Chains A and B, each alone.
Chain A
Amino acid sequence: MTSTRRFLRGAAAVAALLTATTALTACSSKGGAQSQDAAGGGKRLTVAMVTHEQPGDTFWDKIRAGAQDAARDHNVDLKYSNNENGPEQATLVQNAIDSKVDGLAVTLSNADAVIPVVKKAVEARIPVVVFNQGIDQYAQAGAKMYFGSDEDLAGQTVGKRIASDGGGKALCVIQAQGSVALEARCAGVKKTFPNTENIYVNGADKPAEQASIGGKLQQDPAITHVVTLGAGDAMAALNAETDSGSKAKVVTFDLNPDAAKAIKDGKIGFSVDQQPYVQGYMAVTALWLNLTNGNDLGGGKPVLTGPSFVDATNIDQILPYTSNNKR
């Protein structure tokens, strides 16, 4: 009995401590914002960025790095939130509207779910910029600008390049089932290089992904090119080739330091980069320009941040930027 009591008293203390710690964290962050406010002078704008990021992804880290750099450069208070599921992301956009932010940057990966609430933001006279995903839907949502890559175009350029490379058969590796954007990339590849087969792998489990790609390469020796849709997946594909003894060329979408080094070493043919840092930076900057100077970019058309080729010809210039999380 007494031991239970003692445990309970301990539990209550832990609970109190937790509350206190969280409260303290909150207070200091508030203080920081206020002190910066005083230093900068004038009204500090608040921009909400709501994305479909799956937490802990290197690609999204670059988008956030760009957004944060832009927020710092323009003295904007950036409120970032994310959820990979459309309905939950829509609720987060509603959350931003409730918070009366000055501007909203949003991704439309789950367009049907998110558009209705983006329209509400437009009705509430919050300027909206769509970035990363939603090139076909951003205008319908009432957004003024779009920054991102055209996935279909990017896929087509990859397909053309494989064709001119004398490819026989391409394997397009989709690392997350059910993503419209990833499907569009592989569909684009198939448009300009018809002998393309899709394979679904679990990108969240790299060893399993490697095994799946390796198994496919062993099963089908006709494959001459492996197209991966993310830089981390390209590394898994390279390992799979070593395991299976395949000679297929790996080409990839997006970049990370390892993939950049592999391009330099000639292990990866090329990368089509959609420049995530630029997407995050421009989304915040465009909102800032709009709010402070009434500008808009793109002349009513999407502003493309990709496809931008990274290969042996320009890797020397780009390689240093990959290590500080900007490419």
Chain B
Amino acid sequence: MVTEKDVHHIAGLADIGISAGELDTFTAQFNAILDYFDVLDRVQGDGAEARDLINVMREDVVEPSLPQEEVLRNAAAQEDGFIKAPRVM
């Protein structure tokens, strides 16, 4: 059973904005879905053992990087080759 407060906390943890109007709808939907998930409590078993695709690695070889313009191309804001971002405050 999750409350609106819990849902608000989760939204904060996920840094996902939800509006006040959405809060109660989300809470009701969450409760229905999480109730459905409760069936997992009855699951018994050992879980997986890794059997194949073990130790998949590459050799330490240098490959070409992207040109700086390609790296910056999709960025909304840049300065002197750096990508601009909001500051953590």
> Is chain B found bound to chain A in the same assembly?
no
Chain B residues close to A by CB (< 8 Å): none
Chain A residues close to B by CB (< 8 Å): none
